[in-house]
Structure 1
Amino acid sequence: MQQNKEIEELLNDRTYYIEYSRYATNHAKHAVIALSGLGADTEIIKAYLKAYITKTDLVSETSKPSLYSISENNWKDFFGQRTSYSSYFNFFDQQEKELGREQLLKKYLPELLPGWAGSLAHATIHLGWGLSVNNRCMKIEGLAYMAFSFISCRPECLFAKQSQLLKDESVIKSILRIAEKWESNYDELHNWAENLISDKSSRAAQKIHPDLDKSLQYRIVRILNEGHPLIYQEPDWIMRQEISLTWEQLYYAMTIVYLAKPGDFVILHLLTSLYAMEKIANELTLEYQFFAIKNYWVGMLCILFSKADFPKRKDLVDLHAIYENSYDTAWENLENTKWSETIARALKESEEHNPKLVYLMQNLWKRTGYRTIYRNAAKCYT
């Protein structure tokens, strides 16, 4: 997506800090990309940003000093400590000047990918969406934010033996298998998650940054730290399936999950971060593209499990039956009417996540030959 000069300036603006109110992410630039991609006039985007900055009190978060000076020797030592964002930015900025875009990403992303779910995946979203429009500033900010908020999803815990690979055939089959396990063992799994999250006496719990203590992120970090055998059973499609097919199946399966709980704020993040992860993976060698998928799968399940719940299998099956082979015909008319209505509504939204949802769903609708699921999901606002 080409950006005009004014939009590029908005994406390059570093006036405001990456977070506000201790742990909430500054979404302003994500909104710029989505609104611009939906065809919003630059003045509308600027008005949105002005309102967003006021609403979130970003004015009071213009800068925070770094506690440590990040260098090549210590850049991994402060992962997830939430201490040195500005220094991380300066480090990656200098590395990009020395190495260039391609080598910068190939050198540092493999170490950062396991931490993609930190900050409710917002650092990943910032990087991936920035890469989608080839914005240098967002790329550097995203790398710095990933290091700043890093919490490993521990992909190394996936079973590696061939005999342990699950032959689920597709991503949606894996989701249905896990949904069935949740239904047959609901009390056990629900209580396991809630007890884990409520227990703040363990060493792992006490290591979580105090800024996250009372936030949704705390629940996610506890599951990321602990994990569960269901999360670590590796489906064989992760490493054995053609990678473009896996991305397509992940988008479809996660949209089914979203429609099973339409408007769910957390699951919406799993969709927008999936888009980001694909953009990030496209910058890497094939080996690390598969690694990105492995990390997304593990982290995504940790985030879902943090809700101490899972979508009902019947709901997923029913939605799959509706949408598996459903494609829009006469798409020109749909694009001019149904989408224009959805987009017009999105442009009036004060909630940033909704235009981002519409932008992503329209992108997927066009990319997949007008699958109906994406047009319908675009209307399910959080």
Structure 2
Amino acid sequence: MNTVISASERTADVCQNRRERIDALLADASHHIEFNGHLSNHNKHAVVALAGLNASAGRIEEYYRQYVQETTYGYGLEPKRPSRVAVTHENCLSLLGQRTSFSSLCEFFDGEIARHGLRAVLVEWMPALMPGWVGAFTHATIHLGWGLDYGHPRMITEGLAYMVFSWVSCHPQRQRVSDQVSGNNAIESLIAVADMLEQDPVAFQAWAARVQNGQIAPKKAQCHPELKRSGLQYRIAMALAEGHPLMDAVPGWLVSEPLEDIWLQLHYCVAIIYLARPGDFVNLHLITSLHAMEEIAARLPQTQSRSVVRCFWQGMLGVLFSGGDIPASATFADLHVRWQGVTDNADAPDIHANWQTVIDAAIAEAEEHNPKLVYVAQKLWQRTGYQSVYRAAANCFTTTPELPPSFDELEADRGM
């Protein structure tokens, strides 16, 4: 499928009710949260990103309709499924990661929010749900966080439900505050982690081979069968289940630094990770999921917010380690030297023109990860006093990856 929609195919607004038209798309409850097994329905993520980039309501509606019919993977969305379990306060957590009863989970959280209010629901449920933030390859967390960003109740409810549905723990119980990982901030600690892995590459590759093949303790290796079909999600789940001393070590700055500083450090860190392999489909998700996690944490007490950043760091390393090929420490260090403290002149015509070109291209894209990337990167560029690293990241579009052979070798999950 062609991943770019030409400018001639884009439509303009025909009336002034842009917000109402976008809200109607986000309120749509007619499709399942996944398709062809475990592939996440990203349609509403794209709506939020396109709205944030000031795309016309007509263009956003056009994108939504096309995605329903055929995603960039070549499959259309699937209709809403009936639920096997009637979800209650008592049984909700028993469904963590069981990939069942999504519609009933939505009804449950909708009722909880109506009775107690959104903030109270987040405060109650995030301690249990946030450790599973990498589930569905971070898309459940993205769904909730981006729903909070836009402020749409249906998308928020779906995000909470999806976090239960797809939960895969990063095992925060293994976290230990440690000086094993040096560094005064996120990027310095990332460089230190990569350097330590390079000191014994044979050991790291042996660890990676074990987790990629599921050759870990049987109790740890238990997961929903659909994850094995994914390949990527299975590797990440096994990496997190097995753990690694460097993954589970909590650097001191995560404990002592102000939260606002930590969020900015992490945003810079994941931008550097992305620029180490420009356009990398996997690493792009660290950018968009971190945005989601900060949106969630902003609604939580500070103690819970601190747990969110610790979970992100642990899960981020799990994602990076799972592939067995983390970028070189020298690459990270060189990029840090290149981009640290570099800012754009926001009034310069060439900077303005570059952003306009990137935004126009993102709005025209059928691959929804690209408007999401540009939306987050521009927000960070503005927030940080026009740091150039975020504009550089925004210019590095990704492409839809090929599905692995396991998609054809194993039967897709069609359960309720």
- Into which bin does the TM-score normalised by the smaller protein fall? over 0.9
Matching of residue 70 in structure 1 with residue 59 in structure 2: no
Deviations 1:133-170 (A, max 9, x none): 1111111000000001111101121114xx65755210
Determine if contact 2:221/2:241 at 8 Å carries over to the other structure.
Answer: no
Q: Hey, what's the Cα distance between the residues in 2 that align with 1:359 and 1:75?
A: 34
Q: CA deviation at 1:59?
A: 5.5
Q: Hey, what's the Cα distance between the residues in 1 that align with 2:77 and 2:191?
A: 45
Normalised TM-score (structure 2): 0.88
1:360 aligned partner: 376
1:209 aligned partner: 224
Report matched runs for 1:1-382 at 5 Å. 4-56=19-71, 61-160=78-177, 164=179, 166-199=181-214, 202-204=217-219, 207-215=222-230, 216-331=232-347, 333-334=349-350, 336-382=352-398
Deviations 1:272-318 (A, max 9, x none): 00000000000000000101001101111111111111111111111
Q: CA deviation at 1:209?
A: 1.0
Normalised TM-score (structure 1): 0.95
Which residue identity lines up with residue 108 of structure 1 in the other structure? W
Q: CA deviation at 1:182?
A: 2.0
Q: Hey, what's the Cα distance between the residues in 2 that align with 1:153 and 1:3?
A: 39
Give the total of aligned pairs. Answer: 379
Determine if contact 2:214/2:221 at 8 Å carries over to the other structure.
Answer: no
Q: CA deviation at 1:187?
A: 2.4
Q: CA deviation at 1:3?
A: 6.9
Determine if contact 1:152/1:225 at 8 Å carries over to the other structure.
Answer: yes
Unaligned stretches of 5+ in structure 2?
1-16, 399-416
Question: Which moved further from structure 2: 325-334 or 42-51?
Answer: 325-334
Which residue identity lines up with residue 280 of structure 1 in the other structure? I
Question: Which moved further from structure 2: 57-66 or 309-318?
Answer: 57-66
Which residue identity lines up with residue 132 of structure 1 in the other structure? D
Which residue identity lines up with residue 89 of structure 2 in the other structure? E
Deviations 1:296-348 (A, max 9, x none): 01111111111111111111111111110200125353453110011111111
Partner SS state of residue 299, structure 2: coil
Determine if contact 2:22/2:47 at 8 Å carries over to the other structure.
Answer: yes
Q: Hey, what's the Cα distance between the residues in 1 that align with 2:216 and 2:210?
A: 11
Q: Hey, what's the Cα distance between the residues in 2 that align with 1:214 and 1:186?
A: 28
Which residue identity lines up with residue 170 of structure 2 in the other structure? C
2:414 aligned partner: none
Q: Hey, what's the Cα distance between the residues in 2 that align with 1:17 and 1:61?
A: 6
How big is the alpha-carbon RMSD for the aligned residues of Structure 1 and Structure 2?
A: 1.8
Q: Hey, what's the Cα distance between the residues in 2 that align with 1:93 and 1:323?
A: 44
Q: Hey, what's the Cα distance between the residues in 2 that align with 1:86 and 1:290?
A: 31
Q: Hey, what's the Cα distance between the residues in 2 that align with 1:303 and 1:178?
A: 14
Residues 201, 179 of structure 1: alpha-carbon distance in 2 compared, 3 angstrom cutoff: closer
Question: Which moved further from structure 2: 68-77 or 277-286?
Answer: 68-77
Q: Hey, what's the Cα distance between the residues in 2 that align with 1:375 and 1:115?
A: 30
Displacement over 3 Å in runs of 4+: 56-60, 163-167, 199-202
Residues 67, 131 of structure 1: alpha-carbon distance in 2 compared, 3 angstrom cutoff: same
Partner SS state of residue 98, structure 1: helix
Determine if contact 1:66/1:83 at 8 Å carries over to the other structure.
Answer: yes
Q: CA deviation at 1:202?
A: 4.7
Determine if contact 2:32/2:77 at 8 Å carries over to the other structure.
Answer: no
Q: Hey, what's the Cα distance between the residues in 1 that align with 2:147 and 2:36?
A: 23
Residues 367, 201 of structure 1: alpha-carbon distance in 2 compared, 3 angstrom cutoff: closer
Which residue identity lines up with residue 232 of structure 1 in the other structure? D
Question: Which moved further from structure 2: 185-194 or 87-96?
Answer: 185-194
Partner SS state of residue 188, structure 2: helix
Deviations 1:235-293 (A, max 9, x none): 01111001100000000011001100111111100110000000000000000010100
Determine if contact 1:176/1:317 at 8 Å carries over to the other structure.
Answer: yes
